Amino acid sequence: MKKVLFVCLGNICRSPAAEGVFTKLVNDHGLEKQIIIDSCGTQDHHQGENADPRMINHAQRRGYDLTSIARGIKPSDLDEFDWIITMDNSNYENVLKISSPKNQHKIKKMMDFSTDSQTKEVPDPYYGGPKGFEHVLDLLEDS
């Protein structure tokens, strides 16, 4: 059993989408009993909320169901999860700050898994238009 946690800022756009894309991949490969998937934000300003309706709609068009309820990251997440995958450099630095040295090796950047070596971050789509949400999904699917 492995546990994977996706992390962004608000846990209403990028990390719920990452959770949805990865969950479908895991289910399609019949690995749902071996991999536990969750997401959270470095902030808890949206605690208890569903994913952003724009992110839900764009994801749904590609066949992903976003069911996450927003929550902030807890120090215990660092002990509990095996892989902690952050969306941008700011998320990465903020998670590193709350991690004890023994857990730092678990913290990764999503774009480290991408075939696109030029793009280093999954950009925050919150204040932009539809293209930003599609771009997020393109990057997540590739990674």
Q: Which residues bind ligand 4NP (CB under 6 A)?
A: 8-14, 41, 45, 124, 126
- Minimum CB separation of residue 45 from ligand 4NP in Å reads 6
| Closest chain position to ligand 4NP (CB) | 10
**Residue 8 among the catalytic residues:** yes
State the catalytic residue, choosing from 8, 40, 52, 77: 8
Long-range CB pairs of 139-143 (<8 Å, 24+ gap) are 139/110, 139/111, 139/114, 140/14, 140/17, 140/18, 140/21, 140/110, 141/21, 141/62, 142/114, 142/115, 142/116, 143/110, 143/111, 143/113, 143/114
Least separation in angstroms between residue 13's CB and ligand 4NP is 3
| CB neighbour list of residue 74: distance below 8 Å, 6 or more residues apart | 40
The minimum distance between CB 14 and ligand 4NP, in angstroms, equals 3
Q: How far is the CB of 96 from ligand 4NP (least distance, A)?
A: 17
Write down the catalytic residue from 13, 14, 40, 52: 14
In the residue annotation, 14 being an active-site residue is answered as yes
Catalytic residue, candidates 52, 77, 88, 124: 124
Task: Kindly list the catalytic residues.
Answer: 8, 14, 124
